[in-house]
Structure 1
Amino acid sequence: MVSSQHEAMHRIFQTDPGMFARATRALDLPFPDPLEVELLSVDLTTIEPIERRVDTLLRILTAAGTFILAVEAQRSYDPDKSATWPYYVTYVHTKYELPVVLLVVTDDAATARRIRTLPPIGHPFHATLVIHPIVLGPAELPVITDAETAADDIPLAVLSAIAHADDPRIDEILTVLAKAMKQIDSGDGDNFADLTEFGLGDSPAGDLWRKIVSVEMFYRSKTANQLWAAARDEGRTEGHAEGLAEGVAHTLLLILDRRDIEVPDDIRARITDTHDADLLAAWVDRALTATSAADLFVD
């Protein structure tokens, strides 16, 4: 079954196709920046009852000419790809009569190494067809721990964070990424935050990202919007200020829980017994940076 991590690794090229040229320059591949990009159908099925679909297919126009970029996301090595990828490339080349570049993105270093040396197709004495994809794995994607670098290229920083989810510096990587996202348009920031969450999935890095987002991007994150919507809905259901206060108190406790801040019974009671929504909102602000539950009540 296709996972959210798989989807994020190739869909980010749909969000910003120009990232392909920027990412491959580190490999000394001089692909020019795109002037125009068209998203093509990923269905490569022929009249035979065999369904074949590439993950992302883009027609890219550059100053040096037009080519087709086929993007495949791989989370583990699949030996069948040594046969299906040549089919993809030859089919697309025949259909569009344009040069075809196969890009494989992976967050697994061992998978990246095996894809770089795919076995040829043909007789042992003579290779008839050799597939040579460009591979972007942990070794090719930079570890970005500088906020300015991340802000300069958010899509590449997102892809890099996904590829380096197991890196011991992942806390620093994700914190820097969240800070960089706060500097861009809120809609774009939300989209890239969601892509990051999908790409990291239910891994420890994914859990860490959700906690960081709840602090660094709280007022713009999908999680925050859901929490505040729940608070508003609860208030409307109750039909009076007390109901709204209960919803905000619930949100406050969720934030503390997401940040792994222990809430003693007396403080939990103080929060749930407070019916002043404005006061609770002030405590929510403090919860974003508090180091203990007691910090909520310190001006």
Structure 2
Amino acid sequence: MGAMPSPRHDALVKMFEHRPELAVEILRDLMGVELPDTPLVRLENTTFNTRRSDDIHADMVLVLGPSQDPAHAIIVEIQQDKSKAPRQLARYAAVLWLMLGCDVTVLVICPDRATAAYYAQPIESGLTGYRLQALVLGPDSIPALTDPQEAAGHLGLAAMSIMVHGRDRKVVEAFAAALTDTDDDHALKYTEYAYSMAAPEVRRLMEEIMTSTDWPVYTPFAREHFGRGREQGKAEGKAEGKAEGEARAVLLVLAARGLDVPEDVRARITACTDLAQLETWTTRAATAQALEELFDEAGGQQG
């Protein structure tokens, strides 16, 4: 069984899903790839078949052009280590080419420099004459955006700039300033993406800078989701209602973090009536890297 995807991996995938045009802009504007000039960009099913018996699953697939006559396909893969065999990427491209009948580009996002170099090498597929050259966006290719206007115009890149260059205070300041020029709902998404992708010390810097500005959501999970759940619980006016609101807050935070909650864990959370325990779980949910940390006895008693 494979390892559970990290919050950083999930945030990157969600950011591209939220705005698929980001992949086109990275390839065309940042990496100089010639792509069909079309406003039609759509997400495709990420699971496709080798026409034998096994399905293969990419992080994201998007298609340029009309569905009946696709002009180009892009496979986006998020790789934080060298665990995936490069030949698998060649296989993805070949199968998608067979299915859609159009050219395919593989874009690999690698926050780690060594991983980026690994996937940047030409990939021998094992089929004579077929060698795939994946296009890799590594930390050296992600610009440090310190201009608020530039960050506001490229919020996806600005969030990735936080991931790679967030220790530079000017990068975080530019990101925070850019968010004030965007409507709250839109900005909240990118705040969550950046926060999930950032290292712990960068998260602390984000909170410090965002609390000193007019931007109201400086810790996206604690402020938006935790607060919403608490207020809903209080409005119900009864202990049972408060517990239900707190339980919902826990689940909202976990959902915002991209953590998959099995039914048995969901049942345990919703069945808990201990408000103090639920508040503890909500606080832990904002930073937990895995569900096990939510119930860690070292951090407090279990419910």
TM-score calculated relative to the size of structure 2: 0.66
Identity of aligned residues (%): 19
Separation (CA, whole Å) in 2 of partners of 1:76 and 1:14? 22
Larger Rg: 1
Q: Which residue of 1 aligns with 2:81?
A: 76
Report how far residue 21 of structure 1 moved. 3.3
Change over 3 Å in CA distance of 1:128–1:145 after alignment to 2:
same
Aligned length: 229
Instruction: Measure, in 1, the Cα distance between the counterparts of 2:51 and 2:34.
Output: 37
Equivalent of 2:107 in 103, 107, 119 = 103
Question: 1:12: which partner in 2?
Answer: 15
- The residue correspondences of 1:1-299 to structure 2 (distance < 5 A) are 1-24=4-27, 25-31=29-35, 34-46=38-50, 50-61=54-65, 66-78=71-83, 80-122=84-126, 128-165=129-166, 168-169=167-168, 171-200=169-198, 203-216=200-213, 217-219=215-217, 221-226=220-225, 228-229=227-228, 232=231
By how many angstroms is 1:6 displaced? 1.0
Shift, 1:32, TM fit: 5.5
Deviation of 1:134 (Å): 1.1
Shift, 1:5, TM fit: 0.7
Q: Distance in 1 between matches of 2:58 and 2:237?
A: 50
Mark the CA change 1:184 to 1:234 in structure 2 (over 3 Å): closer, same or farther.
same
Structure 1 gap segments, 5+ residues each: 240-299
Separation in 2 of the partners of 1:228 and 1:10? 26
Q: 1:237 to 1:122 in 2, by over 3 A?
A: closer
User: Which runs of no fewer than 5 residues in structure 2 stay unpaired?
Assistant: 239-303
SS in 1 for 2:203: helix
In structure 2, relative to structure 1, the CA distance for the partners of 1:147 and 1:49 (3 Å cut) is same
Q: What SS does the aligned partner of 1:35 have? A: coil
Paired with 1:34 and 1:156, the residues of 2 have a C-alpha distance of: 22
Deviation at 1:189, TM superposition (A): 0.6
